[in-house]
Amino acid sequence: MTFASTTDDEVTPNLFRVCFVCSGNICRSPMAEVVFRELADKAGVGGRVSSSSAGTGDWHVGEPADARAVSAMRRRGYDGELHRARQFDPEWFADLDLVVALDRSHRRILDHWATTADDRAKLTMLLDFMPHHGDNRDVPDPYYSDDAMFDVVLDLVERACAGLVRQLEPALKHEFRH
């Protein structure tokens, strides 16, 4: 299994592996992958995590992230240039610790692909990590919108990924000392 990550999974044991999943893996999930990695690095736990992303569909496999997503990330200091889209493979569940869906449709598909209780236990929604997200659990798809919507989505992704890093940080720092 190959992850688009800054960390070599094969030589670094005990990484906490997170995969962010959206529809085509060119807008929302690449943003989450890059933002999460950057925030984990800033929190001092980047060496303990591996972030990747994928789509539920195969429409964009091999393509770079949407130029509007890359531009939105660049304006905030993130680099999404190297991303290439791929489709989630249910066999990856075994090697992942957390699978983060960007909206409820992705969650339903992932629930269907999860064949065991252990696989289903790894599933969550990104906005579950954003304080005060209310009942809305979906990160909106900016693909059919304008550039401004990519900034709105990036705002949500940043806040939710910050919450995810805050939740993981104590365990990762404790694990790092042992």
Tell whether the model's pLDDT for residue 6 goes beyond 80.
no
| Annotated catalytic residue 22 | yes
Residue 172 belongs to what domain range?
A: 16-177
CATH number for the domain harbouring residue 138: 3.40.50.2300
pLDDT value, residue 9: 43
pLDDT value, residue 136: 80
For β-strands 98-101 and 123-125, DSSP reports them as parallel
Asked if the structure places residue 9 within a domain, the reply is no
CA dihedral 26, 161, 126, 65 (to 10 degrees): 0
Asked if the structure places residue 36 within a domain, the reply is yes
Q: Mark out the alpha helices in 43-146 (DSSP H runs).
A: 67-75, 104-113, 117-121
pLDDT value, residue 174: 73
> Which is catalytic among the residues 9, 41, 128, 141?
141
| Annotated catalytic residue 177 | no
| Annotated catalytic residue 161 | no
- Which is nearest to 100 in space by CA: 4, 33, 21? 21
Report angle CA 10, 98, 82 to the nearest 5 degrees: 60
> Which is catalytic among the residues 17, 19, 27, 28?
28
Asked if the structure places residue 24 within a domain, the reply is yes
Asked if the structure places residue 130 within a domain, the reply is yes
> Which is catalytic among the residues 19, 22, 27, 161?
22
Asked if the structure places residue 1 within a domain, the reply is no
Separation in Å, CA 160 to CA 10, 15, 69, 72, 89: 28, 21, 17, 17, 24
Asked if the structure places residue 131 within a domain, the reply is yes
pLDDT tens for 45-86 read: 999 999 999 999 999 999 999 999 999 999 999 999 999 999
Number of domains making up the chain = 1
Asked if the structure places residue 6 within a domain, the reply is no
Asked if the structure places residue 86 within a domain, the reply is yes
Residues 49, 172 contacting (CB under 8 angstroms): yes
pLDDT tens for 100-159 read: 999 999 999 999 999 999 999 999 999 999 977 677 889 999 999 999 999 999 999 999
